[in-house]
Structure 1
C-alpha cells in the first residue's frame, strides 16, 4: 500500500510531533496568543457547532474549540502529530487520514462514524481504506460539519496536484451554509518553503468550482483587514444548492 506523502511530510519527516508541541509550548510560555484561530472560528459560528479541524497537527485549535463547547473532530496525515493530540485530549476523535484522498475524506463524510474511526488503530483504518480501494465517494453522504477549519498553512503544504480535489472534498463535508475557514502564506516569508505554492486566485477558483462563495478575507486570524500582504485568512460558505463533487 502506498504511504501517503505531502509537502509537509517532505519537510518535517515522520517525527515532528514532539518538536512541534515543544515549539508552541515555548510560545505560550512567552505570553504569545495561542488561540487566534479558535477565537475567529467562535466569532463566525457559535457552539455547539460541529467542526472539523483539517490538518489539525497536535490539535491546538480543535482542543481550544472543544473547551468552548464545540463538537470537534481532528484529522491529520502525520501520525506523530496525532500522537501528541491524543495524549493531550484523549476524549476527542483524532483520525489519521490524507486530506488529498477523497476515499479518506469519505470516512469523515459519513461512510464511517468518526468516533468509531478514532477508536480503531491507524493501521486498521488504513486497511479498511485500502480494501475499499480509496474510491472517491466524499460528497455522496456529506454535509455533516458546520465548519471546516484549515489553519497552519495546510493548503500550501498538501501534496502537489492535490489542492483542488482537497478543497472539493472539504466542501463536500459541509452542511449547506457551512463555512470553510483557511489561513495560509502567500510568499516565502510566511511559509516553510522557498516559494509560494498556492495563490489566492487559485484557491478562490477551486472554491468557486465546488459551490463555495467568499464571505470574508482577513490578513490575520485576529481579524485585521486583508491588504494584499503575504498571509491571508479566507472564509467561504457552501452554497445551499451545491453539495460538492459527484452529486
Structure 2
C-alpha cells in the first residue's frame, strides 16, 4: 500500500461507511434516483460483461450493475465502506486494496469497463494519479472503457479547491494508452461545458 493517505481518508478517518450508506438510503427514500452512474455505464456495455468499480465505497453502483446482469468486482481502501458493501451483497467480489497498487491484487485482466465515480480521482493520495490511471488501463481489455466522474471546483468537491484539472487527467490517460471518447457534464448525459464544475469522461484503451 502507498505510505501516504488518500484525501478521502484524511477527510473521514476511514470511518464513513455507515454514514455514507445512510445518506444514499435517505435520498432513495425521498424519491431521488441514486442509480444514475450505473445506468450511464450500463448504456455503454453489452450484456453480462466484466466491470471493475475502482473506489467502490459501499458498493452502491457495483451492486446495481450486478442487478443489471454484469459481473462486478469492487476495490476500495476504506474498510468501513467495504464492510457495508459486503453486508449488502455478500456474494459479490469486494477487495481491499490501493488503486495505485492494483497489480498487487492479482486481478485477471480483460475488464470491459473500469469505473472511478464519486470523485475517486480528485481524492487520491497526492502524486498517485498517473499510477492509478496506468493501473486501471492495464486491467482493461483492448477497447475497454475507463469511466470517471469528478468535480472541478470547490462546489462539486468535498475539498476547498480542485486537486487535478481535466487537462492533467487527460494527459495521464494518454500516457496510459487511453483515448478520450466522450465527455459530459452529468451522469444524465448533459453536454459538457468548459466552464462547468463537473465532468463525466469516457476513455477507451487503444493500445497494449
Structure 2 length as normaliser, TM-score? 0.96
Residue aligning to 1:147: 113
**Structure 2 stretches of 5 or more lacking a match?**
none
Say which one has the larger Rg. 1
Offset of residue 14 of structure 1: 1.8
Residue 179 of structure 2 corresponds to residue 207 of structure 1: no
Q: Which residue of 2 aligns with 1:183?
A: 149
Task: Give 3-state SS (helix, strand or coil) of 1:109's partner.
Answer: coil
What residue in structure 2 maps to residue 235 of structure 1?
202
Q: Can you list the C-alpha shifts for 1:39-87, whole angstroms capped at 9, x where unaligned?
A: 0101111221100000000000000000000000000000000000000
Normalising by structure 1, report the TM-score: 0.81
Across the aligned residues of Structure 1 and Structure 2, the Cα RMSD in angstroms comes to: 1.3
Corresponding residue number in structure 2 for 1:196: 162
CA distance in 2, matches of 1:2, 1:155: 15
CA deviation string 1:173-224 (max 9, x = no partner): 1000000000000000000000000100001000001110111000000110
Are the aligned partners of 1:56 and 1:62 in contact in 2 as well (CA < 8 Å)?
A: yes
What's the secondary structure of 2:107's corresponding residue? Answer: helix
Cα distance in 1 between the residues matched to 2:46 and 2:166: 27
* Secondary structure of the corresponding residue to residue 66 of structure 1: helix
1:115-161 Cα shifts (integer Å, max 9, x gaps)? xxxxxxxxxxxxxxxxxxxxxxxxxxxx3201001100000000000
- Give, in whole Å, the separation in 2 of the partners of 1:164 and 1:3: 16
For the residue of structure 2 that corresponds to 1:177, the secondary structure is strand
The number of equivalent residue pairs is 207
In the other structure, the counterpart of 2:188 is: 222
Q: Which residue of 2 aligns with 1:56?
A: 56
